[in-house]
Structure 1
Amino acid sequence: MRLSLLDRSRTRAGRPDAAALEATVARAEHAERVGYDRFWVAEHHAVPGIASGTPAVLLAAIGARTSRIRIGSGGVMLPLHQPLVVAEQFLVLDALHPGRVDLGLGRSVGFTPPVRRALRRDVEAAESFEDDLDELRGYLDGTGPVTARPATGRVVPTHLLATGRGIEVAARHGLPVVVGGPVLDSDELPDLLRRYRRDFRPHRDSTPWVTISLDVTVADDDATARDLALPEAWALAVSRQTGEFPPLEPKEAIRGAERPAQVRRRVDASLDRAVAGGPATVRRRLDALADRTGADELMASTSTYDREALLASDRSLRDLVA
């Protein structure tokens, strides 16, 4: 499998949000040095635990600090934007970093009603997703009703983020698909991916491409890896209890915190779902995932409080897959 990273610019307790963006750029530089194929960033609005709300701006900074690795969005939430504006942003990126830019698209309209109001969108905005997708692709390939600038003579590759029904949309539009979230644990996933490959309608010269996105943490042994995965698992469990996704905390603070039984169960379930362990454990889990899905690419979306440990995990994962 090809190997990529998705970094969500996770904030850390006691540190300014700007530090999360600086860490994302530094991680991209490290990913290029150790041989990753892609480095993608996310779009989340008004989330306390995530600093990245504008992928195109962050990708411009990453592109300026790297030279070979592909860079992209995982993803731009198309219902929140005008298709022409998205096309212009990514055509500018492609002009600045020729042939290195990917456009990953999602259909989320924001987590909460206040965020949707601030973005001037409602839940119905996602209903026009496929029409907006067609319009966007027209601007990117120069066949739209107006010509998006700059015209580079290249078409920015487009990918679709999917958690279920979106897999069918990707097949219908001839798009590579990035699969993540709860659907990865579904017994239906192999059948969904078989139908995706069977029903794929090529767009230009496109072919089916399946990327699996999930947390993958590699350490010297299983216990250490689960410790590194704990801050993200804790944040997810807390968010389900409070409705607010918090910054990452060090594992020592988490262990010392009061943990209701329900939160403990959610943390343990999250750690069990994540691919976290020593090299042998991770290799076994990834081999099983590859056999189950036939994935062409793995996109690791790992986060942890300890930045140095995160970079070490990235390096170990690259060595393991290579």
Structure 2
Amino acid sequence: MLDRSRTREGHSPAEALRDTVEFARRAEALGYHRFWVSEHHGVPGVAGSAPTVLAAAVAAATSRIRVGTGGVMLPNHRPLVVAEQFGVLESLFPGRIDMGLGRSVGFTGPVRRALGHDKDDADRFEGQLAELLGYFTGANEVPGLPAEGLRVPAFVLATGAGAGIAARHGLPLVIGAVRGEEPMLRAVRDYRAEFRPSPLAAEPYVVVSLSVAVAATAEEAWRLLVPEAWAMAHSRTRGVFPPLRPAAEVLALPMTARERSLFEQSLRGHLFGTPAEIAESLDALVARTGADEVLVTTSTHDRAALLDSYRLLADAAGGR
């Protein structure tokens, strides 16, 4: 389960962060295997900007579920600092920490400037990844205390060249169908063909990421996706990613032709339906991709409906 600490209309970022911690407690009670948090900077609709800090809060509020990042955007940080942060997390919560790593940079030019980076910094990811892993093995000139000697599972979040980087470094791959399912399937095939075993992973390991909404009817499940779809359409027409609005308000909005097109486009590529329909869809997805795990994220305005969706999803995926 991945939670991005989405803000809701009429609610503060602080409430969104507290909701994330509560979601983690619920996820653990429902039997989810991992709970990950994300990194976004300068996005009004997303409160999750400090993933290792939030992961510490989540780990402290839970007792069994694995806690990690989906992910820390390595181009925004020095590898030594990231290693130290995960070393602290693993020291405090041994055997429960995952290190998900991405190569995205800031959402806008002003955000990138505030972070002291530009788009080209994403090209440095592979070198930064090697340096980061070296702090855990003691391969670098500077000791990465307290990370040195610790074993923290590392995952590469893939877009574009990310799958090849994961294969070359022998790391698990996290991938979604952002550009469509066929490009994702090609990337997964290439990853498996090019994978080089490492101390962190002896064999290829694929985690497929997608949005899933579950409700008593397919119509209700579809409506859960509406607030996030409108936020995406809004961001692409106005350059601002807003807090989530209730589905009924969104569906009543007068949209321009471009807004309607982007809104409908944002509703594609997600799984939604009843528990039985979702169980069948997940089985088909795993069969097509050979995925070892499925990483699920869902964002909607109605917090109670969101929690119910995760409960129904846990029931639908029971035994899978």
1:217 matched residue in structure 2: 213
1:109-148 deviation per Cα after TM superposition (whole angstroms, max 9, x unaligned): 1111100110011122122211111000000223221211
The answer on 1:89 being equivalent to 2:88 is: no
SS at match of 1:299: strand
Question: Do 2:234 and 2:259's aligned partners in 1 also have CA atoms closer than 8 Å?
Answer: yes
Secondary structure, counterpart of 1:303 in structure 2: coil
Measured in 1, the distance between the counterparts of 2:199 and 2:234 equals: 45
Q: Report the residue type matching 2:238 in the other structure.
A: T
Dislocated runs of 4+, deviation >6 Å = none
Instruction: Determine the C-alpha separation between the residues in 1 that align with 2:248 and 2:144.
Output: 51
String of CA shifts for 1:188-241, please: whole Å, max 9, x gaps. Answer: 332321221121001125121111111101100100001111101111111111
Q: Report the Cα distance in structure 2 between the residues aligned to 1:60 and 1:306, rounded to whole angstroms.
A: 26
Unaligned runs of 5+ in 1: none
Please give the secondary structure, in 2, of the residue aligned with 1:187.
helix
Gaps of 5+ in 2: none
Check the 8 A contact 2:100/2:157 in 1, yes or no. yes
**Match of residue 188 from structure 2:** 193
- Residue 224 of structure 2 aligns with an amino acid whose one-letter code is L
Partner SS, residue 56 of structure 2: helix
In structure 2, distance between residues paired with 1:13 and 1:59:
24
| Residue of structure 2 equivalent to 1:252 | 248
Any idea what SS the aligned residue of 2:22 has?
Answer: helix
Using the alignment, how far apart are the partners of 1:74 and 1:57 within structure 2? 13
TM-score, normalization by structure 1: 0.95
Contact 1:49 1:248 in 2 (8 A): yes
Distance 1:205 1:103 in 2: 12
Which residue identity lines up with residue 148 of structure 1 in the other structure? G
Q: For residue 175 of structure 1, what is the aligned residue in structure 2?
A: 171
Q: What is the match of residue 284 of structure 1?
A: 280
Partners of 2:160 and 2:124 in 1: CA distance: 17
Question: Cα deviations across residues 26-84 of structure 1 (Å, max 9, x unaligned)?
Answer: 00000000100000000000001100111011011111100100000000010110000
Aligned to 2:69: 73
Structure 2 residue matching 1:265: 3-state secondary structure: helix
Distance of aligned partners of 1:294 and 1:270 in 2 relative to their CA distance in 1, 3 Å threshold: same
Q: How does 1:1-322 map to 2 (within 5 A)?
A: 5-151=1-147, 153-183=149-179, 185-204=180-199, 206=201, 207-322=203-318
* Displacement of 1:269: 2.7
CA distance in 2, matches of 1:47, 1:36: 28
Find the residue that maps to 2:178 and give its secondary structure: helix
Shift of 1:152: 6.8
Give CA-to-partner distance per residue, 1:158-188, whole Å, 9 cap, x none: 10000232111111110101002423x2423
The question of whether the paired residues in 2 share the 8 Å contact of 1:163 and 1:181 is answered with no
Question: Sequence identity, in percent?
Answer: 52
Contact 1:95 1:152 in 2 (8 A): no
Residues paired across the two proteins, number: 317
Q: Distance in 1 between matches of 2:147 and 2:69?
A: 20
TM-score, normalization by structure 2: 0.96
For residues 205 and 121 of structure 1, do their structure 2 counterparts lie closer, same or farther at Cα, with a shift above 3 Å needed?
Answer: closer
If asked which structure has higher relative contact order (CA below 8 Å, sep 6+), I would say 1
- Matched residues in 2 for 1:235 and 1:9: separation? 14
CA distance in 2 between counterparts of 1:262 and 1:145 reads 54
Structure 2: how far apart are the matches of 1:241 and 1:281? 33
> Which range moves more in the overlay, 270-279 or 166-175?
270-279
Secondary structure at the counterpart of residue 9 of structure 1: coil
Deviation at 1:97, TM superposition (A): 0.6
Distance change >3 Å, CA 279–CA 49, structure 1 → 2: same
Report the Cα distance in structure 1 between the residues aligned to 2:126 and 2:303, rounded to whole angstroms: 38
After superposition, the CA RMSD in angstroms is 1.3
Q: 1:270 to 1:285 in 2, by over 3 A?
A: farther
SS at match of 1:208: coil
